[in-house]
Chain A
């Protein structure tokens, strides 16, 4: 599956991302691709304080992406039936909203 789009991943409003999956299951492809995109150099350079933590399990559990934002909000995505582009789209739209809110607040 090709990487979705060329939009850069903005992590400015993100505090921590935990990606947990079980690599021997067959439904982890989208989660792993999401991890590869979010953990890339480009993405990490937008915010050096953001932690990207991959957790590898072996208990046939569902792959879950848990994003904690700077203002305390959490986004939990269950990647078993989602594609990478859907997950990335949802994540990026929220990041953009938060970023704009933060900029508007800073301007005031």
Chain B
């Protein structure tokens, strides 16, 4: 009552109200959840308590299903094929093909078939999983992207290289010849090697050269042999003489 009387008296005179009522407007304690001021809301959101994550003791929960995918039927068949291919063939070459049409592929296949080289295609995933189990695990990084296998029982490298040179889109990456992994340059140098018989012949002739020369010299006329020996002694003696002279000088 005093508040209302004072405000009415002072309003006309332009004075500030003497009594300012605090309990005015909405109440502090309400039955519903009172909406917070936006700044207070932000502050509470920023300073909210985040409890630390509880560490679950090992063995409390069963382990998550580790996906042990069994190979589908097709990949098993393909793996068997691959195994057979690796066992039968002496030469397995990996070639990357960058966009050749069916025509070019057919021509290439025809050329290679003449020399007994087959062109095989296997999905990369199957090949990699097979290789990681087998002895040939170091070939696994070769199988990325579009790859084709050239397999043959006999290592006919020259013919393969000439056929590949004709088709520019095919890139030789590496080969496994006689259970030896070779790079592209290795394959080229392998093709330049002479055949096994030639190499064996060269080796045998080199070893027997010394003994054959000795045998031929002994079979000569004994006069010739004695002349040769005398010459040999003379050659030895200047060296001995040269050594003996400085020794004698040192002594005297």
Contact = CB atoms under 8 A, between A and B. Distances in A.
Interface stretch (B23-31, B33-41, B178-186): B178-186
B238 to A, nearest CB: 53
B99 A32 contact: no
Contacts of A71: none
A61 interface: no
B17 interface: no
Interface residues of A, number: 22
A54 interface: yes
A78 interface: no
B98 A52 contact: yes
Nearest to A25: B141
Given A24-B183, A56-B184, A36 B142 contact: no
Contact of B174 (A23, A29, A43): A23
Interface string B123-159: 0000000000000001001101110000000000000
A58 B169 CA distance: 20
Contacts of A29: 144-145
A56 B171 contact: yes
A60 to B, nearest CB: 11
Contacts of A24: 138, 141-142, 174, 183
Contact of B144 (A32, A40, A56, A57): A32
B137 to A, nearest CB: 12
B173 A36 contact: no
A39 B186 contact: no
Given A28-B144, A32-B144, A36-B146, A23 B173 contact: yes
Contacts, number: 57
B176 interface: no
Given A24-B141, A26-B141, A58-B183, A36 B172 contact: no
Interface in A29-67: 29, 32-33, 35-36, 38-44, 52, 54, 56-58
B7 interface: no
B214 interface: no
Given A58-B183, A58-B186, A39 B98 contact: yes
A96 B105 CA distance: 32
Contacts of B100: 41
A13 B145 CA distance: 27
Contacts of A32: 96, 144-145
Contacts of A35: 96, 98, 145, 171
A36 B96 CA distance: 9
B98 A56 contact: no
B108 to A, nearest CB: 15
A33 B145 contact: yes
25 contacts: A24-B138, A24-B141, A25-B141, A26-B141, A28-B144, A32-B144, A35-B98, A35-B145, A36-B98, A36-B146, A39-B98, A39-B169, A41-B99, A41-B101, A42-B99, A43-B99, A52-B98, A54-B96, A54-B98, A54-B171, A56-B183, A57-B184, A58-B184, A58-B185, A58-B186
Top 9 A-B residue pairs of the complex, sorted by shortest distance between their CB atoms: A39-B98, A40-B99, A58-B183, A56-B184, A23-B173, A54-B171, A41-B99, A32-B145, A36-B145
Interface of B: 96, 98-101, 138, 141-142, 144-146, 168-169, 171-174, 183-186
